[in-house]
């Protein structure tokens, strides 16, 4: 991420500092130095006009100011939403009545009701964005060691180092940083949650009877709500494809690694967990090593599926193989979606090569740089049965 800076004037002297925003928010264009004498109403006016307020007063008073801003925001935004709801209440009431009567959305529902709901959702998103912008205008300074040079400020250096990385030694006393109080409170909260961890009932207890926990790093989704975890823990495994130990699962966007841990706990033999965020992969590695040893789990930094999808297709062909390679490939491709081109051989039929390319790929063959070659993997029960192609 490219460094951004913000500038202001203080005591008739020009000042500049590094702007830190994990959300990627641009620094305020206008900065006003404020302290405990600033009223909440004036702060709301400044924040609403996009003026960043660099706090030089007591740290706890800055938190009280932000709470006062929250109250004013909630009051004003509630009025706006209520005002937008009233003209549409009849349409929404009609929708609710028909859903209740028919047990679902009927094709004859008034189009105005759908439009009303869409507009309400849009209004809500607008309100949330406005709230975030205003509350993000209360700014705090930090020195090069992540110390807050304000009265009664807590020591946040450990939390900041965990979230942002260790400060550079040469910048310890010279590099000034400015961030929003809202973002800093998020860093502190993430630090405490990481220490405490989140109990995941689906993971059971360890040998000492202690509930297993997931410790999410800063910037990584924490499984504080476990409905989706319960779904993975309770969903039937596709055992018609083989024993759990012979199954392969992909955990796309693994985050904290909680779903991979649940799958490993259920005995799935091979798990490939992917994510594009290096912090998420570090978090997953830490959790999985502690919970399951990470033996059957491979972590990869990639977008969506790793470059091992062809092996999944090979396992599928292996499953359908009953002595006729052509029939097995045909059956496997019957459940495959998307564009493909492949060539398959097996040791049981050494003189046979089954090659196939789908119609869409054939029509767009000018765009194909190389075909997908599927190597049929060896069966675990018969190690010499299948061999790969080049």
Domains of the chain: 4-185 (no CATH), 199-301 (3.40.50.150), 317-367 (no CATH)
Helices (H), 32-180: 40-48, 59-85, 89-102, 111-135, 157-164
Instruction: Determine the length of the chain.
Output: 390
Tokens of 346: 């097996």
Looking at the chain, which runs of residues are DSSP E strands? Answer: 4-10, 13-19, 30-34, 51-55, 138-142, 177-180, 198-199, 213-214, 248-252, 270-275, 297-301, 341-346, 349-357
CA-nearest of 147, 173, 144, 170 to 158 is 147
pLDDT at site 75? 87
Tokens of 58: 């007591």
Tokens of 168: 């550079």
- Using CB atoms within 10 A of its CB, is residue 174 exposed (0-12), middle (13-18) or buried (19+)? exposed
pTM of the model: 0.69
CA-to-CA distance for 170 and 67, rounded, in angstroms?
Answer: 36
What lies within 8 Å, CB to CB, of 29 at 6+ separation is 50
pLDDT at site 360? 58
pLDDT in tens, the chain (390 residues): 578 999 999 999 999 999 999 888 899 999 999 999 999 999 999 999 999 999 999 999 999 999 999 999 988 876 665 665 555 555 555 555 555 555 444 544 566 777 778 888 888 888 888 899 999 999 999 999 999 999 999 999 999 999 999 987 765 445 789 999 999 999 999 999 999 999 999 999 999 999 999 999 999 999 988 899 999 999 998 887 778 888 888 899 999 999 999 999 999 999 999 999 999 999 999 999 999 987 789 999 987 666 545 556 776 787 788 888 888 888 888 776 666 677 888 878 877 888 777 665 555 544 444 444 444 443 333 323 233 332
- Using CB atoms within 10 A of its CB, is residue 287 exposed (0-12), middle (13-18) or buried (19+)? buried
CA-to-CA distance for 119 and 10, rounded, in angstroms?
Answer: 44
Backbone angles phi, psi at 116, to 5 degrees: -60, -45
What is residue 211's DSSP assignment?
A: B
What lies within 8 Å, CB to CB, of 157 at 6+ separation is 145, 146, 147, 167
- Using CB atoms within 10 A of its CB, is residue 387 exposed (0-12), middle (13-18) or buried (19+)? middle
How far apart, in Å, are the Cα atoms of 26 and each of 5, 29, 89, 131?
A: 9, 9, 38, 16
User: How many C-alpha atoms does 32 have within 13 Å on its Cβ side?
Assistant: 15
CA-to-CA distance for 254 and 18, rounded, in angstroms?
Answer: 32
User: How many C-alpha atoms does 225 have within 13 Å on its Cβ side?
Assistant: 2
């Amino acid at each position: 991420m490219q460094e951004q800076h913000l500038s202001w004037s203080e005591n008739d002297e020009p000042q500049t500092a590094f702007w830190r925003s994990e959300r990627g928010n641009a620094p305020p264009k206008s900065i006003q130095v404020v302290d405990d004498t600033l009223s909440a109403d004036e702060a709301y006016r400044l924040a609403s006009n996009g003026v960043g307020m660099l706090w030089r007063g007591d740290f706890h008073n800055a938190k009280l100011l932000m709470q006062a801003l929250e109250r004013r925001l909630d009051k004003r935004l509630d009025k706006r939403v209520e005002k937008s709801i009233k003209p549409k209440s009849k349409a929404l009431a009609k929708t609710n009545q028909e859903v209740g009567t028919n047990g679902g959305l009927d094709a004859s529902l008034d189009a105005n009701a759908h439009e009303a709901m869409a507009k309400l959702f849009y209004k809500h998103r607008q309100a949330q964005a406005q709230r975030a912008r205003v509350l993000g205008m209360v700014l705090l300074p930090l020195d090069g060691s992540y110390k807050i040079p304000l009265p009664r400020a807590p020591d946040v250096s450990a939390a900041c180092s965990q979230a942002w990385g260790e400060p550079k030694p040469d910048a310890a006393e010279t590099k000034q940083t400015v961030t929003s109080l809202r973002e800093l409170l998020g860093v502190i909260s993430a630090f405490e949650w990481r220490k405490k961890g989140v109990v995941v009932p689906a993971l059971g207890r360890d040998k000492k009877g202690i509930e297993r926990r997931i410790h999410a790093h800063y910037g990584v989704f924490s499984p504080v709500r476990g409905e989706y975890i319960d779904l993975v823990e309770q969903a039937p495994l596709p055992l018609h494809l083989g024993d759990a130990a012979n199954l392969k699962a992909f955990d796309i966007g693994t985050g904290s690694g909680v779903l991979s841990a649940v799958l490993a706990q259920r005995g799935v033999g091979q798990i490939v967990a992917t994510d594009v965020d290096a912090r998420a992969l570090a978090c997953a590695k830490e959790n999985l090593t502690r919970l399951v040893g990470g033996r059957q789990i491979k972590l990869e930094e990639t977008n969506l599926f790793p470059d091992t999808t062809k092996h999944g297709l090979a396992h599928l062909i292996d499953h359908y193989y009953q002595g006729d390679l052509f029939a097995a490939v045909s059956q496997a491709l019957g459940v495959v979606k998307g564009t493909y081109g492949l060539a398959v051989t097996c040791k049981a039929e050494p003189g046979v090569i089954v090659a196939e390319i789908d119609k869409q790929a054939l029509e767009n063959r000018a765009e194909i740089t190389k075909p997908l070659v599927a190597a049929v993997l060896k069966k675990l029960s018969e190690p010499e049965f299948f061999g790969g192609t080049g």
